[in-house]
Amino acid sequence: MLKGKKIILGVTGSIAAYKAALLVRLLKKSGAEVRVIMTPGARDFITPLTLATLSGNPVLSEFTEGNEGVWNNHVDLGLWADLLVIAPASANELAKMANGLCDNLLMATYLSARCKVLFAPAMDLDMYKHPATQTNIKRLQSFGNIMVEPAVGELASGLVGQGRMAEPEELVAAIAELLSVAQPKKKSNKRILITAGPTVEAIDPVRFISNHSSGKMGFAIAEEFANQGYAVDLVTGPVHISTVNPGINRIDVVSAAEMFAATTKLAAKADIIVMAAAVADYKPANPSDKKIKKKSTEMVIELAKTNDILATVGKGKKKGQFLAGFALETDNELANAQKKLKEKNLDLIVLNSLQDKGAGFGHDTNKIKIITANNKTFNFELKTKREAAADIVAHILTLAVK
């Protein structure tokens, strides 16, 4: 996945520095060459020996080594790397990056680097929320640096909130995505709209109805279009995937109603629409704004139908617009998919069957069939979702762009 890629991992002083060990291991396993720079503060949290052993390279911290006049050239380091990853990025080092302060080797490398920079903040929730930190983050993003947002969860302080560094697996996926962003061959004036991920329907403030969709398929399709030079709007339910492609405008929603509102608004200006989201068909009819207390008897939740977004967009489809949907079936697959294609006024439907091993929710692979409006079926082998996305996009483009 990252074969031959040169990555500098900058580790700063945060309790999340322990996750750097796993991150180095995963990067190495993916084929990357990794060099680690630690800030002096980071050495209080994890030993250089651990990261040197895992990366197979000495860890750098200081501008000079020993008394022999050996200089660690930050300019060379910055030029060597394909990507500089700063994880964990503490509030202090983020502030220095945003303001061009340069009091350690990592900051000097940051300022010299010509490659892309990805940073993963880790700090307590109040530090993260503080306007000073938020302003620094916005500033870094305005430089083109890419953030992988911290997660919500229990923090080292015992408080619960947003501030936990993203897990190493999520970081590796974001790194792979960032390094695979191709220079678009041509800029197209066609706009693409994609829906992805699950929707989450509240029962009360703590419980919800949802499904197992990971969003991977929809995100892979969005990336494929963006890599081909198309401007993409991606409306997504809650997922654990970061979007790093500058060609993708991501709109995060939670419920089917929010997805309906965002999608129908954007559909008007879209040329190609692909709906890969697993939208809840039903939502609690009367969600409670207070936590529902346990009763001694059984309880029944009344469900109301949600709007079918795809069918609504299909009904209002304009001349020249191309509309594709997905069908996830467990039985009578082909007949059910053909029915959806017709009833929702689609130009193409992608069928995945839950009966196929390795296909569907959560997997990195998928086995698809493409059915077109003139009732032709195309069968594909089990492939990675990235490869399946390339097949889907190629198929759509041959039909939609004549």
Binding site for ligand CTP (CB under 6 A): 195, 256, 275, 277, 279, 281, 306, 308-310, 325-328, 340
Active site residue 211: yes
- CB atoms closer than 10 angstroms to residue 21: 18
Q: CA angle, 97 as apex, 92 and 102 as ends, to 5°?
A: 90
CA distances from 165 to 20, 57, 140 (A): 10, 24, 17
CA distances from 334 to 301, 350, 391 (A): 33, 10, 19
Tokens matching residue 273: 């629409």
Helix axis angle, 91-99 to 105-112, nearest 10° = 40
CB 392 → ligand CTP: shortest distance, Å? 12
Q: How far apart are CA 239 and CA 262, in angstroms?
A: 17
In eight-state DSSP terms, residue 144 is T
CA distances from 15 to 110, 147, 243 (A): 21, 19, 26
Nearer to ligand CTP, 94 or 310 (CB): 310
| Three-state secondary-structure class, residue 291 | coil
CB 216 → ligand CTP: shortest distance, Å? 14
Tokens matching residue 237: 């339910």
Nearer to ligand CTP, 72 or 336 (CB): 336
Helices and strands (H, E) in the chain, number of each type: 13, 23
Classify residue 375 as exposed, middle or buried by CB count within 10 Å of its CB (0-12, 13-18, 19+): exposed
Q: How far apart are CA 279 and CA 282, in angstroms?
A: 9
| Residues near 197 by beta carbon (within 8 Å), at least 6 away in sequence | 213, 214, 215, 218, 236, 237, 238, 239, 277, 278
| Three-state secondary-structure class, residue 247 | coil
Catalytic member of 72, 92, 211, 249:
211
Whether the link from the prior residue into 88 is cis, omega within 30° of 0, is: yes
| Residues near 374 by beta carbon (within 8 Å), at least 6 away in sequence | none
Nearer to ligand CTP, 195 or 243 (CB): 195
Classify residue 82 as exposed, middle or buried by CB count within 10 Å of its CB (0-12, 13-18, 19+): middle
Nearer to ligand CTP, 120 or 275 (CB): 275
